[in-house]
Amino acid sequence: MPIWTLNKDRCALIVVDMQNDFVREGAIMEVKDAKGQIPQIQRLIKCCRELGIPVIYTQQITDAVFCPMEVIGQPWLKEAGMREGTEGIEIIDELKPEPGEHIIRKRRFSAFYQTDLEIILKNIRGMEQPVDTIIVCGTVTNICCESTIRDAFFRDYKVVLGTDVCSAHTPEAQAATIANMDIFGRAMSCDEILGELEQ
| 73 part of a folded domain | yes
| Mean pLDDT calculated for residue range 121-143 | 94
| 2 part of a folded domain | no
Q: Does the CA dihedral 187-26-83-101 come out positive or negative?
A: negative
Closest C-alpha among 51, 2, 39, 9 to residue 194: 51
| 3 part of a folded domain | no
User: What is the pLDDT, as a whole number, of residue 62?
Assistant: 78
Q: Does the CA dihedral 91-78-148-180 come out positive or negative?
A: positive
Give, in order, the Cα–Cα distances in Å from 1 to each of 23, 33, 135: 35, 30, 18
Phi and psi at 82, nearest 5°, equal 55, 40
For residue 107, what is the DSSP state?
Answer: S
Quick: pLDDT tens for 23-45.
Answer: 999 877 888 999 999 999 999 99
| Mean pLDDT calculated for residue range 93-122 | 95
Mean pLDDT, all residues of the chain:
91
Total number of domains in the chain: 1
Quick: pLDDT tens for 54-92.
Answer: 999 999 987 656 656 666 566 656 566 666 678 878 999
| 1 part of a folded domain | no
Partners of residue 31 on adjacent β-strands: none
Task: Output the domain CATH number for residue 179.
Answer: 3.40.50.850
- Residue 128's domain comprises 8-197
Rounded percentage of the chain residues whose pLDDT exceeds 70: 88
Distance between CA atoms of 57 and 43, rounded to whole angstroms? 15
Q: How far apart are the first and last CA of the chain?
A: 16
| Mean pLDDT calculated for residue range 131-141 | 98
Distance between CA atoms of 36 and 15, rounded to whole angstroms? 15
